Amino acid sequence: MDAEYADRAVYLPAADALVLADLHVGRDAASNVELPLGERADLTDRLRRLLDRFRPATVVVAGDLLHTFDGVPDGVAETVADVESIVADAAGLVVTPGNHDAMLDAVTEADRVAEHRLGDGTVVLHGHEEPTVEADRYVVGHEHPAIVIEGTKRPCYLLGPDAYRGATVLVLPAFSRLARGTVVNGLRGRDVLSPLVADVDAFQPVVLSGDEALTFPALGDLRSLL
């Protein structure tokens, strides 16, 4: 697959696009859980490094830019503004709203579309609803996948060749490191949230080890080994 995995995001060279999902800005304020350097610094520093590494023409946030459904906690607008400013220095920004993004109008004027088709034909969407357009590949968020290997929980991607109506589906881990992560080890079809991941046994976990992406067998074959 034409993709480069990096820090819970993916760069698609043929589209010159960086895609990330589930930033959940405001998660720290809503839950009183904090990162050592603070949510804003963590998100913006990591995003800046990805932009410096890949120099994409476009950055797409595949939904759940925000965390809270019904309000904008203190600091959220400023964090979103910082994200927009960092991206604007290097690329265009598109947001495909997720189920948490009811308050987007209050914090951003970034381009928004339910489904965004990239130059290589890939369609990016959050994944909480069925897509309305056909594609050979979909990139989604929503599930926050993680895997436990030898007792250690790691964020992971899920790659499903031909997994949705003959199309490949790539599920991104949550970009927010405050997101708990849904452990895929024992995940069954009835447990998934996205209609694009209904055939979860067909999906292969992809785990980063340093800069190397390790692709595991499909969950249907791997589950008994974990």
Summarised one tens digit per residue, pLDDT across range 159-203 is: 999 999 999 999 999 999 988 888 998 877 667 779 999 889 999
Domain CATH for 92: 3.60.21
Q: Which residue has the higher pLDDT, 66 or 164?
A: 164
Instruction: Check: CB of residue 184 under 8 Å from CB of residue 217.
Output: no
pLDDT by residue (tens digit) across 114-128?
999 999 999 999 989
Angle, CA 176 vertex, CA 34 and CA 219 arms, to 5°: 125
Q: Which residue has the higher pLDDT, 114 or 63?
A: 114
Q: Under DSSP, is residue 12 helix (H, G, I), strand (E, B) or coil?
A: strand
The domain tally of the chain equals 1
Structure tokens that stand for 143 in this block:
């599930």
pLDDT by residue (tens digit) across 125-149?
998 999 999 999 999 998 999 999 9
E strands, 33-134, in order: 58-61, 92-95, 111-112, 116-117, 123-124
Q: Tell me which residue range forms the domain holding 179.
A: 4-225
